[in-house]
Amino acid sequence: MTNPENSLNQQPGKRQYWLIAAVIMLGSILAFFILRPATPDTQSEHGKAAKPDHAASEHSHNDAHEAGPDANDQDKAHAAEISLSRAQLAAQHITLELVKTGSISAITRLPARLLVNADQQAHVSAGFAGRVQQVFVQTGQQVKAGQALASVLVPELIDLQTNLQILQSQLQLAKSTYTQEKQLWQQGISAQQDYLQAQNAYTQARIAVQAAQSRLKAYGASASSQGRFILKAPLSGVISSKDLVVGESIQASEQLFVIDQLSQLWLEFVVPDTLINAINSSEYLTVEVACAGQLQADRARLISLAPSADLQTGRMVARAVLDNPQQKLRPNMQVVVQVPQASSEAPDGLMIQAAAVQHIDQQAVVFVASPNAASTSNNRKDQVHFVPHPVQLGQKSNDQQWIEVRSGLQAGEQYAAQGSFILKSELEKGEAAHEH
């Protein structure tokens, strides 16, 4: 028989067991609902609930955009400003100068043409009528003074050489007679009159021979060439024209060769009426020449300005001499002459060193040292702040070192004269970093 007290003691233990099991089951159910994925309905409900927050974010984003231009302007101002210490300026060889006022002579560029210097040109002719036997040179060939150009057979030269030989024979006979008569007269055998006649005949024969030799020498021929005449170059230069061939008959005055000396050329250009005074006052002119793909500058000496205008064009023509020692330039090449404007005609204006000018987005700029830069709150006393100023430029000086500034700068402003390309590079780096 069961003891009632024992059954009562066992009931509380069972109730505790079921109570613990119920708690565990309830916790599992709650964990399932909490951790399971949200259903589409749940997501839509959450989306609807989140829309006000999204609208609020869009509103705040729009507010940020409305405030954007001022912020962007500040960012651009900071990006367009470059700050360097004095030590950095010295290390990068960036020098500062002040914008000056002064006069830069205006330069007018005029087209010009190179010509052969007619004072250093030779026209070669034979001086005889004859027939061409040989031609030793070609057009464009460089020759030296005295060099053989062609061989010509000249009938007239044959006559001159034959006549010289006859006169030389007569001279020998006259000399022999004179010597014999002189001895007879000294011995008292012959009369003095015979001696004087022999002396006179000898003198005349000698003069005749000398005249015939001089005639041949004047033609440039020798007595033993047998009618063969050698045309020689009268000066060193380049054969620019050749007008003969082997077997051709030529005339005495016919021009056979033209030799040009190219070590010095003429330069001719038309002068506008407004520049006549400038031309008259200029002894030397700068010439721009494109040679071997490079632009080089040479100096030409002005030698003449036509005393009267051209009858057909009504224009004045100036001529200058240009040295060409390397003979790289050739006649008929087109060049440019720089004619400086008189200083009295050029008013004072602003001028800076040409090396200071840089180009950003096809705009000429100058980096000005600004004491009131955008970041002055963080300035240090040893720093210099540069801001690019767009400028409008004018004429360059004759030495290309200075340039006129028509707008964009003020007199006395401090700017980066040398090394400005470094500032441009730093500016481009800063803009690239700002965009990212």
Q: pLDDT tens-digit profile of 400-412?
A: 889 999 999 999 9
Count other Cβ atoms within 10 Å, centred on residue 109. Answer: 11
In the chain, % helix, strand, coil (3-state, to 5) comes to 40, 30, 30
Percentage with pLDDT > 70 across the chain: 76
Buried-exposed string 307-328: b where 16+ CB fall within 10 A, e elsewhere:
eeeeeeeeebebbbbbebeeee
pLDDT, residue 216, reads 82
So what's the pLDDT on residue 138?
96
Answer for the pair 259, 233: CB distance below 8 angstroms, yes or no.
Answer: yes
Three-state DSSP at 197 gives: helix
Task: Please name which of 115, 119, 108 lies closest in space to residue 288, comparing C-alpha atoms.
Answer: 108
- What pLDDT is stored for residue 229 in this prediction? 87
Q: What residues does 124 pair with on adjacent strands?
A: 257
Burial 255-283 (b: 16+ CB within 10 A, else e): ebbbbbbbebbbbebbbeeebeebbeebe
d(CA 57, CA 54): 5
Residue 151 DSSP symbol: E
Both tokens of 266, joined, read: 């003429």
d(CA 240, CA 163): 37
Residue-wise pLDDT for 257-290, tens only, equals 999 999 999 999 998 887 888 787 668 888 888 7
Which residue has 């507010």 as its token pair? 63
Ranges of the chain whose pLDDT falls below 50: 1-12, 38-78, 344, 373-377
Q: Give residues with Cβ within 8 angstroms of 258, minimum separation 6.
A: 121, 122, 123, 124, 239, 240, 241
What is the rounded radius of gyration, in angstroms, for the C-alpha atoms of the chain? Answer: 52
Q: Using an 8 Å Cβ cutoff, are 375 and 83 in contact?
A: yes
Separation of alpha carbons 314 and 323, rounded Å: 29
In the chain, the amino acid numbered 102 is G
Spatial CA neighbour of 412 closest among 369, 383, 360, 375: 369
Helix (H) / strand (E) element for 352: namely: strand 349-353
Which domains does the chain show, CATH number per domain? 79-104+346-435 (2.40.420.20), 107-118+261-344 (2.40.30.170), 122-259 (2.40.50.100)
Helix (H, G, I), strand (E, B), or coil: what is residue 394?
strand
Q: How many Å apart are CA 2 and CA 205, to the nearest integer? A: 193
What are residue 328's phi and psi, to 5 degrees? -80, -25
What's the DSSP call for residue 235?
A: S
